[in-house]
């Protein structure tokens, strides 16, 4: 069975069957994806973490499919209807859809009109009709009229036979397959307005009279359509433009049935085929294909969310610097928290520089005293309400601290309130007011985004696309995988990491993470990795999985501060013997290490990939893969959208990347959109090929729509941003070529519910609106 799974998965992840088989074997033995990707390259032939994640997902899906296959075979066999041909067809079915098509005629169901007709003995009438046409159907049916009951009239007997015939057609696997493919390839989604609520309709105005080929609809538009339907604003239908009456589909149905030419041409049979298409197949397949469209759109939205989350979690950390975190506010004041280089809280409080109290000077004095007392180096300002006003305050503070330079920057506060009210925050700061905990989180996420953001549910971090419209279980699973991969890619300091961070390390569960923290508190810092084996419930198997990802700075064994796995320590000892140098002299000594040839150290225990990885780690021990920290410089005098000028160049931070472009924070409380067509001077297929969340970019203002609160930006050279090149038409209108349907989406991904705030970014576009104005 495992070999069969490996054979099916291999082409889907562009790998050899033996690579997949090795990975499956390791996973079944309890190995995690990060461990396999980093420390079992010899076994898998170097499968990377993306391939392994896809393999893991495919393995789960195929095993579910095989379980369903076994259930179906058992059900049909219990009914005594499992022929050899049917068994073979079921065993060869590659998809869940094909499997369910084959099972449909044998599936237990409620008592249908067709079932009632069968129970009344009308199945022979249908057989007679199909075999004896063009005989008069009324005469054939007259022989089946019953003395009493539902089928006491000739026409009702004919209707009963038709119900049986329609059910047979709608359960015919070949007909279902062809009709499904035809609808998917040529079907068009038609969206029209429902109701009279103009306010609701305004949010979906691009879809009140809309058509687009179902297979060409991108994920963000599909989710917008389904949201409109869910809110009672839109009516969605799936039509065949080239076959509005279903004549071609009717012909396909008849061609698939084993009938004589005379029967196919008979009006009774033709009408039965027409009704089967109109009232059964079309309706059934519309529901199914809409589900397929939604599922594909959800999967893509989840993929986008995962990519953005990965980029955000891997943002360069500011490092171990004393940081002042400020959670801005107007009436309720600004919340202050000073944390030391390790994130330990030193001070928390509130100040009221803004209306109605207007204690500007008092607040400046308070901040100056805090900065001098604790030697503050960084100031992190939450990007919510009053952030720019607070930034002015901090800028003035900096002029008072010329002898103690400080840097300040805006930090996304998405999810800070969720953390503040969590059980974890209450456990960390039981005496601290909920409102002050958010300032602590803002300060810490500047020091180390990964270590702090793992404490917040990934869905609350605010980098998703229509996150509330997708399957929340699948979203949670995918985001959990992303967090795990990021944590293990960076590594975790064993003696300072929180329990939520440790719980994301390969092989560790939340309970094991708690045990590690408890052991650390009771026995002091870990001095060697091997001491992990003293932690309750952490046995050799778990130790093998987690050890390489846990770091001990200034411990007894220098290698414990690197990504070298303990099982490879003998390899390092062999390298040191060859160099005749102590470890301290080798770590970071590139010139010395490059005298060695990796091939000379390959043994049965350590393959070439492991030797190369160990040499690379020794060259740059403990290197943080997240890169160098830097900040964006927002333009002076630009505080709100009205301050922006067309053609103005600005620096900003990418806050969210979607399939239609990137949202950029340029410091005006309103993220601007760089549409996919404005990301580069070349054609861009995927925005993530150009930008990622957290990246600092230079953008040019194309248009500011104050009424709709939308800002259109460009990263192109000035010569390439002429209005005539900004858009080519309204999105998806009248099912034109998909290349002509590229829409200009807008919206705002920021705020407490970023995905809903863009809502309807799929419903209109700053760039498209700008073009309309230019034309008018």
Phi, psi (5° rounding) for residue 730? Answer: -80, 145
Q: What is the pLDDT of residues 483-529, one digit of tens each?
A: 999 999 999 999 999 999 999 999 999 999 999 999 999 999 999 99
pLDDT in tens, 182-219: 999 999 999 999 988 888 888 898 899 999 999 999 99
Q: What tokens does 471 get?
A: 């399957």
- Kindly report the number of other CB atoms within 10 A of residue 730's CB atom: 19
294 phi/psi in degrees, rounded to 5: -65, -45
Residue 720 is predicted with a pLDDT of 54
Q: For residues 502 and 518, give the distance between their C-alpha atoms in angstroms, rounded to a whole number.
A: 12
In this structure, how many other beta carbons lie within 10 angstroms of the beta carbon of residue 604? 5
Chain centre distance of CA 390: 34
Mean pLDDT of 47-62: 94
Q: What six digits make up the tokens of 500? A: 């939520």
Contact 505, 546 (CB under 8 A): yes
pTM of the model: 0.79
CA angle 753, 222, 712 (to 5 degrees): 60
Report the alpha-carbon distance of residue 104 to residue 172 in Å, rounded.
Answer: 8
Residue 615 above 80 pLDDT?
yes
Phi and psi at residue 705, to the nearest 5°: -110, 95
Mean per-residue pLDDT, 326-350: 94
Contact 392, 616 (CB under 8 A): no
- The C-alpha atoms of residue 312 and residue 656 are separated, in whole angstroms, by 9
**Measured distance CA(264)–CA(252) in Å, rounded:** 11
Residue 465 has pLDDT above 80, yes or no: no
Residue 746, pLDDT > 80, answer no
- The predicted pLDDT at position 504 comes to 95
**Could you give the residue ranges of the DSSP H alpha helices within 621-765?**
754-757
Backbone angles phi, psi at 238, to 5 degrees: -115, 115
User: pLDDT per residue over 317-327, tens digit each?
Assistant: 999 999 999 99
Identify the pLDDT of residue 639.
76
Do the bridges between strand 696-705 and strand 710-714 make them parallel or antiparallel, or are there none, so unpaired?
A: antiparallel
pLDDT at residue 745, as a whole number: 39
What is the mean pLDDT of the segment spanning 565-581? 95
Confidence of residue 695 (pLDDT cuts 50, 70, 90): confident
Reported in sequence order, the residue ranges of 123-231 that DSSP labels E, i.e. its strands, are 188-193, 209-213
Place of tokens 């562009």: 14
What tokens were used for 275?
């009704």
Averaged over 542-557, what is the pLDDT? 96
- Three-state SS string over 438-497 comes to HHHHHHHHHHCHHHHHCCCCHHHCCCCCCHHHCCHHHHHHHHHHHHHHHHHHHCEECCCC
Percentage of residues in the chain with pLDDT exceeding 70?
A: 92
| Nearest alpha-carbon partner for 293 in 206, 366, 220 | 220
Q: Are 78 and 70 in contact (CB under 8 A)?
A: no
Question: What is the spatial distance between Cα 769 and Cα 745, in angstroms, rounded to a whole number?
Answer: 10
Q: Which of 564, 523, 567 is nearest to 541 (CA)?
A: 567
Please choose, from the candidates 50, 55, 39, the residue with its C-alpha nearest in 3D space to the C-alpha of residue 5.
Answer: 55
**Is residue 653 within 8 Å of 664, Cβ to Cβ?**
yes
Strand partners, 350: 335
Q: Band the pLDDT of 336: cuts 50, 70, 90.
A: very high
Enter the DSSP assignment of 634. P
Distance, in Å, from the CA atom of 573 to the CA atom of 515, rounded to the nearest integer, reads 32
| Predicted pLDDT at 101 | 92
Contact criterion met (CB below 8 Å) for 225 and 207: yes
Q: Give 604's Cβ-side CA count (13 Å radius).
A: 0
Asked if residue 754 has pLDDT above 70, the reply is no
Angle at 580 between CA 575 and CA 585, to 5 degrees: 85
Beta-carbon-side half-sphere exposure of residue 626 (alpha carbons within 13 Å): 25
Label residue 89 exposed, middle or buried (CB < 10 Å: 0-12, 13-18, 19+): middle
Q: What is the mean pLDDT of residues 412-437?
A: 91
Contact 16, 51 (CB under 8 A): no
Query: Tell me, what's the pLDDT at 147?
Result: 87
Cβ atoms of residues 738 and 665 within 8 Å: no
755-766 pLDDT, tens per residue? 333 333 333 333
Sign for the pseudo-dihedral over CA of 599, 604, 605, 608: positive
Res 693 pLDDT > 90: no
The secondary structure element, H or E, covering residue 63 is helix 49-78
Look at residue 742 in the predicted model and tell me its pLDDT.
35
Q: Does the structure show a pLDDT above 70 at 574?
A: yes
Q: Can you spell out the DSSP letters for 267-294?
A: HHHHHHHHHIIIIIIHHHHHHHHHHHHH
Average pLDDT over residues 698-719: 88
Contact 61, 95 (CB under 8 A): no
CA atoms within 13 A on the CB side of 435: 10
The per-residue pLDDT of the chain, averaged, comes to: 88
Measured distance CA(498)–CA(259) in Å, rounded: 72
* Pairing outcome for strands 234-239 and 188-193: antiparallel
- 768 pLDDT above the threshold of 80: no
pLDDT in tens, 348-365: 999 999 999 999 999 999
As given in the structure block, the two tokens for residue 200 are 């609701």
- Residue 727, pLDDT > 50, answer no
Q: Where are the alpha helices (DSSP H) in 620-670?
A: none
Q: At what angle do helices 49-78 and 84-92 cross, to 10 degrees?
A: 160
Angle at which helix 267-275 crosses helix 154-170, to 10 degrees, equals 50
Element of type H or E holding 235: strand 234-239
User: 191 near 184, Cβ under 8 Å?
Assistant: no
In a 3-state reduction of DSSP, which class is residue 139? helix
Instruction: Find, among 120, 134, 142, the residue nearest to 269 by Cα.
Output: 134
Res 304 pLDDT > 80: yes
pLDDT exceeds 90 at position 743: no
**pLDDT given for residue 719 in this prediction:** 57
Measured N-to-C along each axis, helices 96-103 and 84-92 cross at an angle, to the nearest 10 degrees, of: 160
């Amino acid at each position: 069975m495992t070999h069969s799974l490996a054979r099916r998965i291999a082409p889907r992840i562009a790998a050899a069957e033996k690579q997949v088989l090795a990975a499956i074997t390791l996973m079944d033995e309890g190995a995690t994806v990060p461990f396999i990707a980093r420390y079992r390259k010899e076994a898998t032939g170097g499968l990377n973490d993306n391939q392994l994640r896809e393999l893991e997902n495919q393995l789960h899906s195929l095993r579910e499919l095989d379980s369903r296959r076994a259930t179906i075979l058992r059900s049909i066999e219990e009914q005594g209807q499992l022929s050899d041909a049917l068994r073979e067809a079921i065993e060869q079915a590659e998809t869940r859809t094909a499997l369910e098509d084959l099972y449909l005629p044998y599936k237990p169901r409620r008592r249908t009109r067709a079932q009632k007709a069968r129970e009344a003995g009308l199945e022979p009438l249908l057989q007679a009709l199909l075999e004896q046409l063009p005989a008069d159907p009324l005469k054939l049916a007259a022989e089946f009229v019953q003395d009493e009951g539902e089928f006491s009239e000739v026409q009702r007997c004919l209707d009963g036979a038709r119900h049986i015939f329609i059910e047979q057609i709608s359960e015919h696997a070949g007909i279902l397959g062809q009709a499904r493919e035809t609808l998917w390839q040529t079907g068009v989604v038609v969206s029209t307005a429902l109701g009279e609520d103009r306010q609701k309709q305004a949010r979906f105005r691009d879809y009140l009279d809309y058509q687009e080929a179902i297979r060409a609809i991108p994920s963000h538009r599909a989710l917008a359509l389904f949201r409109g339907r869910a809110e009672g604003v839109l009516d969605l239908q799936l039509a065949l433009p080239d076959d509005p009456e279903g004549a071609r589909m009717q012909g396909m149905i008849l061609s698939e049935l084993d009938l004589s030419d005379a029967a196919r041409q008979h009006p009774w049979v033709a009408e039965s085929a027409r009704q089967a298409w109109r009232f059964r197949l079309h309706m059934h397949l519309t529901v199914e294909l809409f589900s397929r469209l939604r599922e594909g759109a959800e999967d893509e939205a989840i993929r986008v969310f995962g990519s953005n989350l990965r980029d955000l979690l891997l943002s360069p950390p500011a490092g171990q610097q004393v940081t002042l975190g400020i959670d801005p506010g107007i009436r309720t004041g600004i919340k202050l928290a000073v944390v030391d280089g390790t994130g330990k809280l030193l001070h928390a409080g509130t100040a009221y520089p803004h209306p109605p109290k207007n204690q500007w000077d008092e607040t400046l004095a308070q901040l100056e005293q805090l900065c001098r007392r604790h030697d503050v180096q960084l100031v992190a300002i939450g990007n919510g309400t009053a952030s720019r006003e607070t930034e002015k305050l901090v800028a003035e503070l900096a002029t008072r601290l010329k002898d103690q330079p400080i840097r300040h920057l805006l930090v996304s506060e998405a999810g800070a309130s969720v953390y503040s009210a969590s059980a974890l925050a209450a456990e960390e700061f039981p005496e601290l007011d909920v409102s002050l905990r958010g300032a602590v989180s803002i300060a810490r996420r500047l020091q180390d985004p990964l270590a702090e953001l793992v404490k917040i549910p990934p869905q609350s971090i605010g980098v998703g696309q229509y996150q509330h419209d997708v399957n929340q279980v699948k979203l949670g699973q995918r985001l959990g995988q992303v967090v795990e991969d990021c944590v293990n890619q960076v590594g975790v300091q064993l003696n300072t990491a929180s329990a939520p961070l440790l719980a994301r390390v390969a092989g560790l569960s939340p309970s094991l993470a708690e045990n590690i923290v408890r052991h650390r508190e009771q026995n002091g810092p870990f001095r060697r990795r091997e001491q992990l084996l003293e932690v309750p419930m952490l046995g050799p198997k778990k130790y093998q999985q987690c050890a390489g990802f846990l770091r001990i700075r200034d411990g007894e064994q220098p290698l414990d501060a690197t990504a070298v796995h303990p099982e490879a320590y003998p390899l390092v000892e062999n390298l040191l013997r060859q160099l005749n140098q102590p470890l301290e002299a080798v770590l970071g000594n590139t010139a010395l290490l490059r005298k060695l040839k990796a091939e000379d150290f390959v043994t049965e225990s350590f393959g070439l990939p492991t030797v190369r990885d160990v040499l690379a780690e020794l060259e740059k021990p403990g290197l943080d893969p997240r890169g160098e920290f830097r900040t964006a410089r927002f333009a002076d005098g630009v505080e709100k959208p009205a301050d922006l000028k067309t053609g103005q160049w600005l620096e900003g931070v990418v806050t969210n990347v979607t399939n239609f472009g990137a949202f950029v924070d340029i410091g005006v409380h309103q993220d601007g959109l760089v549409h996919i067509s404005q990301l580069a001077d070349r054609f861009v297929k995927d925005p993530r090929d150009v930008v990622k969340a957290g990246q600092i970019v230079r953008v040019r203002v194309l248009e500011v729509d104050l009424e709709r609160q939308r800002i259109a930006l460009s990263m192109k050279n000035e010569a390439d941003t002429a209005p005539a090149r900004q858009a080519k038409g309204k999105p998806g209108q009248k099912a034109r070529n998909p290349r002509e349907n590229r829409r200009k989406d807008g919206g705002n991904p920021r705020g407490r519910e970023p995905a809903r705030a863009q809502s309807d970014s799929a419903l209109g576009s700053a760039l498209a609106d700008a073009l309309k104005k230019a034309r008018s």
